[in-house]
Amino acid sequence: MKPMSAWFWALFVLFLSRGLLVATWSTQGPEIRDALALDLPTMGWYAACLSLGSITGVLTAEHLVGRFGSRFVSSLSYSLLGLGLAFLGLNLFWENSPASFVVTFLIGVPLGLADFDNNLEASTINRLSEKNRVPLLHGGYSLGVLVGAAMVGVALSWGIDITPDFVAVGLIVLGVGVIASRFIGKDNGKLVSSTGQASDSIKIPMSEILREPRTRRIALIGIAFVFSESTGVIWLPIALVQQGFSPALAAFGYTIFGLGFMVMRFVGGPIADALGRQRVIIYSAILSCVGIVIFIASPVLGIPLVGAALWGIGNSIGVAMCVAALGDDPVRVNTRMTCFWIAAYAANLSVGPVLGTLSNLGGLVLTFTVPIVLFIAAALVSSSVSESHPESYAVKSD
């Protein structure tokens, strides 16, 4: 087993690198659209390629990690991520639309692999340290997103084209990812027989995991927080502009939303240690709902930034509590994590179509009602993440 401190901070760097890459790609969306001459509907399909690739990566992650271990999968994932972003930059220079769609899908595959693998390692660190360490690790991702967005801003202000930007960031992610992956234990994440010595985990059929009420409820909590986060990312700036606020304020509102995530993730571990995971879910759901309501009422209250901040703070560490809870039982964590991330990515993929349809039917209020309803459901099943829940460890199959 690698020393806990080196292992933890290496994993923090991996989360940060992934946030850096995602922010670089997403912030350059307008440049990608212009380089490939895509209209808005086609741009929507292009963006979906990354999500579809990520789901594919999650579906294959348990098998790959179980066979080859987290260190190998992490090193492979970040190598492919870096090379993929660099190659996408070249395709944009060549203005090759079909290849760019394919490459973006292929970037999504290692992105899903890395997401699964990093969170599996985070849950193990959380269990072994007996403290809530996942929020700070997720804070690394948020920090990477902010750094990546700032770097894109600098690149655009300096007149640096998208191709050298993507190539440079891709090479950084590749190098940093491979080095940091070396600090993950060689046998971490491997699945063995019940008498094996390399790992505590054994292969558990997905059908058996799906029969666990606790795992299904944790997945519901994850769906609520992921759906709400994606709602903010996609719709917060658009909603502010529709309400009559300036584009500059809309962009600043999105920044405040992201800062709420990062700050809370950096301080959320000790808070979760003091309150317990169940109370964190309840209080987070309440705070997010208050923030969303204030945001919806911005034309009347006139304090949209307060709503955005509360929404971001409340939304920030719910997924971390789910990851920590899934890792309580080292025997079943791999398959439970697969179930959880499939649900999370499906929720993320559904945000655009679901909210787009609702916005046409009932406007802004109906659109933002969806995450509120999901948060209420999450609060009602919050006991499933409790440290003392009777199903935290292996349960008998029916």
- Model confidence at 104: pLDDT above 50: yes
- Please report whether residue 196 resides in a domain: no
The token pair at 142 is 């948020």
- Please report whether residue 193 resides in a domain: no
- Model confidence at 388: pLDDT above 50: yes
* Residues 66 and 144 occupy one common structural domain: yes
The token pair at 349 is 């993929």
Mean pLDDT of 306-330: 95
Alpha helices for 158-276 (secondary structure H) = 162-181, 206-210, 213-242, 247-275
Q: Kindly report the average pLDDT of the chain as a whole number.
A: 89
From 188, 214, 236, the end of a domain falls on 188
**Residue 362 lies in domain:** 206-387
* Residues 226 and 176 occupy one common structural domain: no
- Model confidence at 397: pLDDT above 70: no
pLDDT band at 396 (very low <50, low <70, confident <90, very high): very low
Q: pLDDT at position 326, please?
A: 94
Non-local (6+) Cβ contacts of 284 within 8 A are 225, 314, 315, 316, 317, 318
State how far the Cα of 164 lies from the Cα of 86, in Å rounded to an integer: 8
State how far the Cα of 98 lies from the Cα of 104, in Å rounded to an integer: 10
Mean pLDDT of 187-211: 71
134, 324 Cβ separation under 8 angstroms: yes
Is pLDDT larger for residue 335 or for residue 247? Answer: 335
- Please report whether residue 129 resides in a domain: yes
* Residues 368 and 223 occupy one common structural domain: yes
From 188, 219, 251, the end of a domain falls on 188
- Model confidence at 395: pLDDT above 70: no
- Please report whether residue 197 resides in a domain: no
* Residues 123 and 30 occupy one common structural domain: yes
State how far the Cα of 269 lies from the Cα of 262, in Å rounded to an integer: 12
* Residues 178 and 289 occupy one common structural domain: no
Mean pLDDT of 206-230: 94
- Please report whether residue 199 resides in a domain: no
239-278 pLDDT, tens digit each? 887 778 777 777 788 889 989 999 999 999 999 999 999 9
Mean pLDDT of 200-211: 80
Percentage of residues in the chain having pLDDT higher than 90: 63
State how far the Cα of 338 lies from the Cα of 189, in Å rounded to an integer: 13
| Maximum CA extent, the chain | 64
- Please report whether residue 18 resides in a domain: yes
State how far the Cα of 183 lies from the Cα of 186, in Å rounded to an integer: 9
The token pair at 177 is 């990812």
The domain tally of the chain equals 2
148, 20 Cβ separation under 8 angstroms: yes
Q: Domain of 165: which CATH number?
A: 1.20.1250.20
Q: pLDDT at position 122, please?
A: 96
Q: pLDDT at position 353, please?
A: 81
- Model confidence at 148: pLDDT above 80: yes
Q: pLDDT at position 42, please?
A: 84
Give the length of the chain.
398
- Please report whether residue 288 resides in a domain: yes
* Residues 124 and 240 occupy one common structural domain: no
224, 379 Cβ separation under 8 angstroms: no
113, 64 Cβ separation under 8 angstroms: yes
- Please report whether residue 397 resides in a domain: no
* Residues 217 and 330 occupy one common structural domain: yes
* Residues 211 and 292 occupy one common structural domain: yes
pLDDT band at 200 (very low <50, low <70, confident <90, very high): low
Non-local (6+) Cβ contacts of 327 within 8 A are 120, 122, 123, 124, 126, 127, 333, 337
The token pair at 58 is 């999650």
Vertex 249: Cα angle to 245 and 254 (nearest 5): 115
From 120, 153, 188, the end of a domain falls on 188
* Residues 127 and 79 occupy one common structural domain: yes
